[in-house]
Structure 1
Amino acid sequence: MHKLLLVGPTGSGKTHRLQHLAAAHAADPAATTWAIDPHAELVGADRRTDFDGAAQMLADALALIDERTGRSEEHIPTAAEPRVLILIDDADDLMARHEPTCGQLHRLATTGRRAAVHTALTAQSTTLQAWRLAELRDHYLNPATAEHLPRRHSGDED
């Protein structure tokens, strides 16, 4: 998985799915998980911030991509230089509040694979108004990368 978008209403289990991704990723010694987590619900991330620190975390990820792709055509993850999975809960809300993150996320979506930097986002909306950049939305909103969660799951937090 290079990029994943989970779309659904509040209570549909989006955050719960991100928690499962983080747990599965934690079992890999050649992997690390970063989270942009406005509600402090994503446990198990190696590095976590809220929306206020999102632009810096994304800038750090882009610098890592530049460094890795400057050294080789494709990065092979190791324990010393692990694959990075960036989990972003409520990505549509993040982009609405911090517009510069749209460009950062677009660059991650288009350049992260070669550097082993992957993203998993949740959103309630896929409208262009919420996503700001049509190109970014189009990278995530396709059958290969988007999963719609239309119903509420009892017992699951969003």
Structure 2
Amino acid sequence: MASATTFFDFTPKDKTAKEYPLSQHKGKVILAVNTASKCGFTPQFKGLEELWKSVSQKYPNKFVILGFPCNQFGGQDPGSDEQIQEFCQLNYGVTFPVLGKTEVNGDKSEPVYEWMKGQKPGLLGLKRIKWNFEKFLIDKDGKVVQRWASTSKPESLEKEIIALIEKK
């Protein structure tokens, strides 16, 4: 999708393999995270859910977290889309949208991930995702404004997210 200019130009698949137009979130601040169910960072689901609830309570309909399950790092999300959804809800009470299983690197990489990596390369300008739970912060206009490594805890991002929501 070479003509894409914002995050909202993409349509990945949801948990039922149906199109999920990101344009439905236009005007909101987005935190996009590649997730996994069997990873050392998996407990971040708890922090992500708390962040989602905290920010959404203060700023209703102005923020969304989108989980993109990925099995490309050590086979740490091997389940079906249905199993992944069940895992997230049963173990962490996840209520934010978790989409269908996604590839974030390589030839079959989801176009929105190719675009985000191009907008905000990682350390040393690398345009690949290093591991599960990397996070991209998207502003209300659909531009990537920040990228965090897997080690960044969700709760540490709240101040920056709120500043972006409040930005005129």
Which structure has the highest helix share of the two?
Answer: 1
- Give the TM-score of the pair, scaled to structure 1: 0.34
- Give the TM-score of the pair, scaled to structure 2: 0.32
